Amino acid sequence: MDYLGLYLQVSQVLGPLRLISRVASMRDIVSALLIIFPMLANVLCLYMFVVHIFGVIGVQMWAGRLRNRCFLGEDPTAMYNVSLSPYYVTKNNEFQPFLCSPEGMSGHHCGEVPPYQENDQTCSLAPPAPNVFGLTGAGPNACVNWNVLYNVCRAGAQNPNNGATNFDNIAYAWINIFQVVTLEGWSNIMFYVMNVYSFWSFLYFIPVAIMGSFIMMNVCAVVIATQFSDNLEHLRTQPTRREDSAVLVKWLRSKWTGCLAVIRRRASNRVRRHDDDSRADDLTVGGRIWGQLRTSLEKVVKSKIFHRLIMLAVLLSVLTLAIEHHNQPNELTNMLQISDLTFTVIFVVEMLLKLMGLKWAYFEDRNHLLDFVLVIISLWETITKADGRLSVLRAFRLLRFGRLLHYLPYLRTQLLVLKKAMQEAASLCMLLLFVIFVFSLVGMHLFGHGLDTRKRINDRKNFDTLLWSMVTVFQILTEENWNRVLYTIMAASSPWAFIYFVAVIVTGKHVLLNILVGIILKGFQDRRTLDENLASVTSSSTLEDSSADANVDQENRSQNRNQTALRWCKKREEWSFYVLSPQNRFRLFCKSVMAHDFFEYTVLVFILLNCITIAMERPGIEPASKERMFLTISGYIFSAVFLVEMLFKVLTLGLFFGNESYCRSAWNVMDGSLVVASLVYIVVSLTPESHSKMLGILKVLRLLRTLRPLRVVKRAPKLKLAVEALITAVKPVGNILLVCCAFIFFYAILGLQLFKGKFYTCIGEYIDDITNKTDCLSANYRWEQKDFNFDSLPQALMSLFVMYSKDGWVTLMYDGLDAVGVDQQPVINHNEWMLIFFISFMIVSFFLLDMFIGVMVDTFHNCQKQQKKLAQEARNRSQRGAGGERGKRKGLHQQTPFPMCDHLNICICACDGADFSQLSEFPEERPYQASYSSMRLCIHTLCTSKQLDLFMAILIFISVLIMAVEHYQQPLYIKKLTEYSHYVFTSILVIEVLLKLVAFGSLRFLRNSWNLMDLMVVLVSIMSIVLNMMRVSQHIPINPTILRVFRVLRLAQVLKAKRIRVLLTTIIKTLSQVGNICLLFLFFFSIYATLGVEFFGHLECAEDDLCLGLNEYVNFKHFGMALFTLFLVCTGDNWSVIMMDTLKQCRPGECAHYLMWVSPIYFIAFVIIAQFVLANLVVAVIVQAMEDSNQDEGVSGVSAAHLAVSGTCDPVH
């Protein structure tokens, strides 16, 4: 450890691990994890395999490139007597360095260096030298632009982010690829590479993000989620020894139960005694009156009207808390104080009425106990007149919101499901807290002693104390800005510190938190089973009742109709517009035209062309340009074509009436609405005064044009069925959104009470002595509001949604800790108790985010079950129609038809239905190698032996290691070693392919997919050698040695382990569905990209207020950049910063006023659809793919055995 630059006392850190064996629940979780560890280890091995492949490619392409800086082309000290830095340094120093690309290559060049600034003034004068080209002389500012001297792009000594971001060797490439997979700060790495290499570098990083984060990490999650719950239940059902904690828990439970029994017994005795006294008092007149009054009060407090009135009062009291905001008028403050006092009186009266009516039974209900505590707190706050800004008592009033759950049964049901998941995850949370504690101790011993990391990054992100060490570990666990902590720790200690961060993320995020996914999936499965049982019990009676009710309704409707009109309408029901009969020649002509394939293909071509012209739209097109004229005329043409299509369909099908009328299809209604909107837009735009009086209508109709890609859905069966499946998921997703909204609303009002008016800070040069707003303004500084704050309910909701998406929550937490008071300058760590607010919110958000996964998997399961049922019915009908024996043969050899599931690519089709139970009945065939000569038979035996596979695996593994040895500024012998070893490995691969051609024959060799892959690897290796010898790397931007990486694919052939095969099959099946999933993503992205160009295409970053999210690569200037930007938002990498840039750069008079509220709605809706719904669709696909892979293992084993017996194929391959 001393050699690595790290210091650790193992005995002190690993000592707390003994606690696991003494807590039964934690021991069960760890034991279940150990059972699935082999499968999990295989996932991690495949994950490292993917990381290594991309890492080798990165080293081959960009080793040493991120060191490029713009250096001085001449000595300014000797020539001009001016002292300048050796290379250009930005205002943010190395935090945002200016990286360059050599001349002749794409990327940033030194000619793009910003002008020199002096006293906040941009300089434009040329240096007094005649040999400086590109300058026109004096400009409006009388200072010299010395930055033009930085005109030489070459490699320096420093990489970005304290040297952590580079591809100089395989180790640093692993670090950066892992960061890309975690989707935190990955866009900055991509932008650096774009600057020094090419804009098209995103073709490398986007597949890394998709393959690593969306597929490999989700495979890890599915492995844990699907197998952990079953193993845990199996362990809990086994009799185990739990002498320590189990006995203690049992003793505490018995004591607690005994205490409750005593309290309940005394309460019941007191109630009985009071009843006896009341019976005695009933003998008197007063007693009888009091008894009648108490009985009446009991009826009143139990009535529905009383409950509804109290619910209305609770709702109004919550609304009074919600309408509070910073800088509110005094009248509103007085009104809220009066209303607060009024509601306090109402709830006191309610409590007294229930106490008089229910007596001691009032305290038997937990909800009444909560009401009692809230009323006492409200009275205490009212009597003591506590300051609402500083008192925590005001925040407790928000718990009244929980009373609404008594009157919202469905929301209460959802919360009960969540509550059950939380109860089952209690031991998991305890284990997670213990893991955080252990990693915090490790961090304190590694990085908290002798390392002054606080001065390098922030006072809070350190390992100096246990509290902030645990907060830092929790931050790393959520993967929010963990890369910034990594950069600082690596610079202060050692690059080997990366292992610590990987261990925290893999153990906490990818293992323990995925157990939570399994618990929630188990809860949804149990709930689905319960619902199916209830449905099966009540289905028969419900069917009978519904049929009877339908007959009664039919009779009532028939009696109320106008018989004459009914007869005439019914006679012409199938007539189009009640004019064209079904036998009308014109209608038959329209029907024949519409039924022709050419008609549908023509319309589809026009729709696709229309989508292309919509994608070409952007705000920068000049009104008088030819491009604008082309787009306008093409819009008229498309509208005319779609109108003709609509008329043909309306005339053929009818508009409203008829069994197959135009408006009976929702897709036709959508098509017709878009056509009508296009016609209205054309009419309004051609109106002479449209630009003045109808500008608002034009904007709305222009936005409706962005929905035209929806017309593609109807024509694309796979996309149509996928969208229909998502529509079926709207209701369950909406229910989860309702729960999430209630949770966020609860915390929003709580944050409003705690932080209202406190998220402000003074912006200036010397602010150490600034204590409040007055001091800031008197010093001529700026008193600015934080981007995300709690000054009003909408701002609080937006801030908490950003936290809910796990983006920027650390910055918000620090702002909350630093908040002092209204108009007070923040003080670092002023109130550390606010950690409870933010961390509790993040913990609950883990449960709610995983519930989206449960909903999508549950909806996916229902879809698959429905399609299997339909497929079974179709198969039964086909068997009945075709006859017994013929139906059996067809069912034996034909694949199970799952039409909707196959098109959706959400419900994966079942494997082949062949019956392998009759394996012994297969006729034995003569092996093809029986006629071989002795020499060829020996070659065949060699090619089918396991020893050859083992030898090739070792050989390729050595080749992979040699490829990983290459690095920046490598010695000559390493270059020679890699080059000669590549020749040797390629020669051996060629020999292997030739031997297999001799052993199996050319036709039999080419029938096998593994052999085709071997042939492809050989051809690619030979191609790389030829291109390298031709030295084409000097003429093309890609190094041909990258082709050597394809040799790694040869390792997949020798992965014979069953678990590895299951995982490989799962990944292959998932990748086979990626095309249609990407089609679904692209469909939604295209609509949002078009809207984004319409809304934000004109935004430009101002010089006085630089953008933090928008830049030359992230913007909405045209459709392509909008798609790229939306992918970044989908990954969650600083999407909130992009949203805030769209708000800050929209100045009054330069853009529409509605963008201030459209922008948050736009981004929040996209995040919900992309991150919470569509991204979790990939998890559902992986769940089904893994189930199919496990089922295929048994079938494939029998199939391989039969092929081996028959000798018709290579038994090994």
Mean pLDDT of 50-63: 87
DSSP 117: B
pLDDT digit string, tens, across residues 408-425: 555 666 666 677 777 777
DSSP 757: T
Q: Name the most confidently modeled range: 254-258, 398-402, 847-851, 1143-1147.
A: 847-851
Angle formed by the axes of helices 1135-1144 and 1155-1167, nearest 10°: 170
Of 1137 and 720, the structure prediction assigns the larger pLDDT to 1137
- Over the Cα atoms of the chain, what is R_g? 36
pLDDT of residue 277: 54
pLDDT digit string, tens, across residues 1126-1135: 999 999 888 9
pLDDT category of residue 67 using cuts at 50, 70 and 90: very high
Q: Are 1053 and 1013 in contact (CB under 8 A)?
A: yes
pLDDT at 948 over 90: no
pLDDT of residue 546: 43
pLDDT digit string, tens, across residues 1115-1125: 898 888 999 99
pLDDT of residue 812: 93
pLDDT of residue 1056: 47
Cα(1199)–Cα(1212) distance, rounded to whole angstroms? 12
pLDDT of residue 11: 57
What distances in angstroms separate CA 964 from CA 48, 824, 918, 1044, one per listed residue? 13, 55, 50, 12
Mean pLDDT of 688-713: 59
pLDDT at 1178 over 90: no
pLDDT digit string, tens, across residues 613-659: 888 887 778 878 888 888 888 888 888 888 888 888 888 777 777 66
Two structure tokens written together for 1137: 């910063």
Reference 672, options 636, 634, 644, 631; nearest CA is 644
Of 764 and 231, the structure prediction assigns the larger pLDDT to 764
Q: What is the DSSP string of 970-1032?
A: --HHHHHHHHHHHHHHHHHHHHHHHHHHHHH-HHHHHH-HHHHHHHHHHHHHHHHHHHHHTTG
Of 1104 and 1114, the structure prediction assigns the larger pLDDT to 1114
pLDDT of residue 641: 86
Question: Helices marked H in 617-686 — which ranges?
Answer: 626-653, 666-686
Using CB atoms within 10 A of its CB, is residue 990 exposed (0-12), middle (13-18) or buried (19+)? Answer: middle
Write out the H or E segment, with its range, that includes residue 153.
strand 150-155
Reference 477, options 806, 65, 820; nearest CA is 806
Strand partners, 122: 117
pLDDT of residue 136: 43
Q: Are 1096 and 1142 in contact (CB under 8 A)?
A: yes
Q: Are 91 and 43 in contact (CB under 8 A)?
A: no
Q: What is the DSSP string of 707-745?
A: GGGGHHHHH-HHHHHHHHHHHHTHHHHHHHHHHHHHHHH
Cα(187)–Cα(189) distance, rounded to whole angstroms? 5
The whole-chain average pLDDT of the chain stands at 75
Q: Are 287 and 278 in contact (CB under 8 A)?
A: yes
**Poorest-confidence range of 29-33, 225-229, 913-917?**
913-917
pLDDT category of residue 28 using cuts at 50, 70 and 90: confident
Dihedral of CA atoms 660, 664, 666, 669 in degrees, nearest 10, equals: 100
pTM of the model: 0.80
Mean pLDDT of 959-973: 85
